[in-house]
Structure 1
Amino acid sequence: MENKASAPVAVMDLGTNTFHLLIAQGTATDYTELIHEHEAVKLGEGGINKDVIQPVAFERGVATMLKFKADLDKFKVTKVRAIATSAVRNAANGQQFIDEVADKTGIQIELINGEQEAEYIYKAVKLAGGLGDKTALIMDIGGGSVEFILGNAHGILWKQSFEIGAARLMDKFHQTDPIPADAINSLNVYLQEQLTTLTGVAQKHPVDTLIGSSGAFETFVEVVELSKGNNFSLAIKNYTFDIADLTSVTDTFIRSSHQQREGMKGVIPVRVDMIVVASLVTRFILANLQINQVCMSTYSLKEGVLAEMME
């Protein structure tokens, strides 16, 4: 396995809720992870719908980048890509954040648009072996935006990014816990209005399977598997849900209080609250597009970027 001696590369996915760092070496189809970190930065906290990064969140972001820089130094990584998405893209002080990180760490953050984000997510899910000949709808629920990609193993039919991420929806609709029925109705009406293009495209290209890209879908899987007494490992790349399990776990999240979710095994702290609106978005898509097959891919944006760097 001579590829293991290749120089390590690093990808940072600087999301609205979580900053991820992946350092790996090898090739796009056969690599070893040297480090895989997640930091709950909550960059959108308190300001996501005002399109500003609040001072406390700004500081958390910079501190996390300093921590990541120490990891890069430890593994002597010179080939680095740091990708920022919705929260930084839309924030009035997003450029200030990029400048301060460059100044303090030497890391140059790239801002990508929603279309590029969708492209990388598709590339990652395809790399994980999650696509076949039939039309699938890939959905990546971020904190700031949600990417939808319609396609199969042969290519993308359509893709679009919508600024309806979990942090935005939570700020708009999930003010009381458990989330009240009228808030759920308002959220569904809002999704209906926002996602008209998706609904139209799905009528032209009927969707066989929904593939959830990491994030909330990993939490759905973990809670389902733990409830069955299985010690589930996210080392797998693809997982197929029993639709009854998915319905049951999302029902539980939607009806639960903050305290109940906090006590659930398999729910990481950053997702304790976001998981409610993520469940509602998932259920809306399944009902609206009449999909009854759902999978999860553990690969997302960072694996897509990593593949491009290693190719």
Structure 2
Amino acid sequence: MSGKSTANDETRRLAAIDLGSNSFHLLVANYQDGQLQVVAKMGEKVQLAAGLDADENFTDAAMARALACLERFAPFLDGVPAANLRIVGTNALRAAYNARQLIDRAEALIGHPIEIIGGREEARLIYLGAAHALAEVHGRRLIVDIGGGSTEFIIGEDFEPQALESLHMGCVAYTGTFFANGDISEKRFRRAEMAAMSELANIQRHYCQLGWQDPIGSSGTIKAAAAVIGARGDGDATLIERDALMKLRKTLIGFGNLDKVAMDGLKEDRARVFPAGVAILCAVFEAFDLKRMRYSDGALREGVLFDLIGRSTPEDSRRHSIESLMRRYSVETAHADHVAQSAMAAFDQVRDGWSLSEEQRLFLFWAAQVHEIGLAISHSQFHRHGAYLLEYSDLTGFSRPEQQALAFLVRAHRRKFAQKELEALPDAVQLTYQRLARLLRLAVMLNHARPEQAPVDFQLICDGDNLHLRLPDAKPQALLLNDLEQEAAFQQSAGLTLTYSP
């Protein structure tokens, strides 16, 4: 995603909120002529990961901190169209059992959906942000981003990532594990490093085989380490040399207690989690035999904005993921295209009556394209197999809620209506996805006999949630009439009405 634009493009106001495990970040920017111009930028230490109790639930205090922060962010979102705003949650929101409770309250406060993204998707967006910040630098890069609950590692060139990993280690999590009582010692520090080395062993050989010319660090821990090293006169604030990092390590151990950690260049609200972050950074230097690492300002929130710019265009990474799935599972493309054409014809006839959006049209199209991927596993119950693949695969560009929604459509495209899976979706989208599933079911049914041309010459009328399908003048095939009778019964059992006429 290059972010190219034309000089005639109108200015777009964009915004991203990154709900990190340690900090929340807001970025508002204007986009024009292929460039982002920052309008507002804020960050607050919320420390969600530190607010997990022994049962992996957010405490009331942690949720209160999160909501108070979002309340302060909210005024900066005035004037940003909903389509130009993304709010993404990372490791702590992936891990907490009661995350949905916090998300529901936050969405009610901010008036916009929150997307939980997977670790590799987080890594991809971090790379996208860093790559744009480093656009003038050529060659293969290693990007490292140490967060509160996870650390992302990406190797890429230009704007294309070649390896993406997210490891379960972060400065907040490691503070609770290795420095829980506040004591800092050589033994505790080394235990943290060895735990990180153990995680890194999973990717060490593969990453070293790929290789890189330029190791880059992004986000809080690495930014703070570079700033402290610069303030100590051991380098500038954009470069971390290995010798300077080892001196920093020794100094931190010398403090003896987290409450005593105070250094020029280190913000007070980061001091307690800084030693754990530096321990992870030392392990990264050791595992990859790094001599130096540069700091880059581009990170997740910038990546979210650049990804947002590419959405609903030929550069949409989600489209590439769907095409990849179709190739991987040998989808019969002609039939998938026919189902998609029929689904789009149905969608366009009820779009206004059901207040459906262009983004929802995309999801229906994608579901039609991949509705048969489960056949690669088994013909029996293939709609269930397809839903499982969609929900649990790493799909570039998709958030977890988006994958769940796409999986629901595939699960619901045949047989008994998938009421249980519908109710597992967020309340706010259940009606919309129930309606999209009904359109997909009709499109699949109209193409059951696998005709040479997609049926599009039908009329679909909606009256609230009552649907009426008017078929072309030609006499319908017996198979289609039988399918319609069965489908009307399936929908009736779900409390829905489908009628039809030749």
The 5 A counterparts of 1:120-159 are: 120-129=125-134, 132=137, 134-153=139-158, 155-159=160-164
Per-residue Cα deviation, 1:274-296 (whole angstroms, up to 9, x for no partner): 11011111111111221113111
With over 3 angstroms needed to count, the CA separation of the structure-2 counterparts of 1:158 and 1:27, relative to structure 1, is same
TM-score w.r.t. length of structure 2: 0.56
SS at match of 2:203: helix
Q: Distance in 2 between matches of 1:77 and 1:154?
A: 26
Partners of 1:304 and 1:90 lie apart in 2 by: 22
User: Do structure 1's residue 9 and structure 2's residue 14 form an aligned pair?
Assistant: yes
Give the TM-score taking structure 1 as reference length.
0.87
Identify unmatched segments of 5+ residues in structure 1: 233-238
Q: Match of 2:273?
A: 274
Q: Deviations over 1:160-179 (max 9, x none)?
A: 11111111111110134451
**1:55 aligned partner:** 60
Which runs of 4 or more aligned residues in structure 1 lie more than 4 Å from their structure 2 counterparts after TM superposition? 1-5, 130-134, 229-232
The one-letter code of the counterpart of 1:288 is A
Amino acid corresponding to residue 25 of structure 2 in structure 1: H
Amino acid at match of 2:13: P
Larger Cα-atom Rg: 2
Q: 1:77 to 1:133 in 2, by over 3 A?
A: closer
5+ long unaligned stretches in structure 2: 1-5, 311-502
Hey, what's the Cα distance between the residues in 1 that align with 2:87 and 2:189?
A: 35
Tell which has more relative contact order, 1 or 2 (C-alpha 8 A, sep 6+).
1
Could you tell me which residue of structure 2 aligns to residue 18 of structure 1?
A: 23
- Give the direction of change, closer, same or farther, for the CA distance of 1:157–1:230 in structure 2 (3 Å limit): closer
* Mapping 1:87-102, distance limit 5 Å: 87-102=92-107
Amino acid at match of 2:252: F
Tell me the distance in 2 between the aligned counterparts of 1:210 and 1:49. Answer: 36
Corresponding position: 1:210 with 2:228: no
Could you say which residue in structure 2 is the equivalent of 1:34? 39
Displacement after TM superposition at 1:184 (Å): 2.3
Among the aligned pairs, what percent are the same residue?
25
Match of 1:77 in 2: 80
Contact map agreement 2:151 2:169 (CA 8 A) in 1: yes
- Contact in 1 for aligned 2:245/2:282 (Cα 8 Å): no
**In structure 1, what is the Cα distance between the partners aligned to 2:260 and 2:248?**
13
Q: Deviations over 1:97-130 (max 9, x none)?
A: 1111122221211110001100001111111116
Measure how far apart 1:5 and its partner are: 6.9
Of 31-40 and 148-157, more deviation after overlay is shown by 148-157
Contact 1:211–1:294 (CA under 8 A) maintained in structure 2: yes
Q: CA RMSD in A?
A: 2.7
Greater strand share, 1 or 2?
Answer: 1
Taking the aligned partners of 1:2 and 1:133, their CA distance within structure 2 comes to 26
Secondary structure of 2:279 counterpart = helix
Please say if 1:222 is aligned against 2:221.
no
The residue that corresponds to 1:236 in the other structure is none
Q: Is the counterpart of residue 265 in structure 1 residue 264 in structure 2?
A: yes
- Give the counterpart letter for 1:14 in structure 2: L
The 1:130/1:32 distance shift into structure 2, 3 A limit, reads: closer
Paired residue type of 1:26: Y
Q: One-letter code of the match for 1:140?
A: D
**Number of corresponding residues:** 302
